[in-house]
Chain A
């Protein structure tokens, strides 16, 4: 059974990779938190199963980037209610599997008061981690469902 599972994993093609697209807005701590949450998922929690790509390249019509978001499940990670990542992915008709907003996580964790933008402070890092855990759970849920939209 184990060797069968291992074989299945090896043969799994890249279409299983989930793309995490943060807004990375530069003007608010929310944007920095969205970025850090993405790195938490892509580099720590779901390394090898996820990847990220630049929202700006998508918006500017980079063909490889656009092809990627149409062929892989995507999760938009926005800082604030402007939802720049989600809106741009929708405009491109990407496979949007879920979207998250840092502001919603902040609302549920009111003791955390992230202040710094350029280099996240402790509260900012904590919020990023909480959001990353949520995204990770979603990815597990998507894998169990086996849904590819």
Chain B
């Protein structure tokens, strides 16, 4: 039992959900701090996406709405969209990700944070967010769906 995380093991992968945060259904987390809320992507999203090669960070001062795309992560597999879990203004961004995008993979809940949002009405946004326990259950069901959907991959060259 891990004090800080809920964990789900699938094969050799350990998916972690950090306790004490709030979560949006699009695999983003929120940590309230003072006047702003720190946001980032979950371990589940970064594992599915793969190694992050480039992060397109939002601009400071931008007004964001819940559900808008605020960032994207370029990985070797795809471009992963990150949607805002809050309505508000971007007041800070994690510029360390420009040089070290791998922080999102290595430490998604801490050094891999994306931005700070000053929410316009947090109590209203709160309705779209869920507890870590609920997100953990959602994540587990998504993992099961993906396992059920995964098909066979072909070797590129015939042998």
A114 lies within 8 A of B51 (CB): no
What is the CB-to-nearest-CB distance from B125 to chain A, in angstroms, rounded to a whole number? Answer: 33
* Interface residue ranges of A62-116 to B (CB < 8 Å): 80-81, 103, 106-107, 110, 113-114, 116
Residues from chain B with a CB closer than 8 A to the CB of A110 are 53-54, 74
Dominant secondary structure at the B interface = loop
What is the CB-to-nearest-CB distance from A141 to chain B, in angstroms, rounded to a whole number? Answer: 23
What is the CB-to-nearest-CB distance from B86 to chain A, in angstroms, rounded to a whole number? Answer: 29
**Neighbour of A114 across the interface among B76, B101, B102, CB < 8 A:** B76
Dominant secondary structure at the A interface = loop
| Known contacts A30-B51, A107-B54: A118-B155 contact under CB 8 Å | yes
B156 lies within 8 A of A118 (CB): yes
What is the CB-to-nearest-CB distance from A62 to chain B, in angstroms, rounded to a whole number? Answer: 26
A149 at the interface (CB under 8 A from B): no
| Known contacts A28-B76, A103-B102, A106-B76: A80-B51 contact under CB 8 Å | yes
B106 at the interface (CB under 8 A from A): yes
Which residue on chain A has the smallest CB distance to residue B101? A107
Residues from chain B with a CB closer than 8 A to the CB of A113 are 76
B76 lies within 8 A of A29 (CB): yes
A140 at the interface (CB under 8 A from B): no
**Neighbour of B76 across the interface among A30, A81, A118, CB < 8 A:** A30
List the 8 shortest-distance A-B pairs measured between CB atoms, nearest first: A81-B102, A119-B157, A107-B53, A119-B156, A116-B156, A80-B51, A106-B53, A118-B155
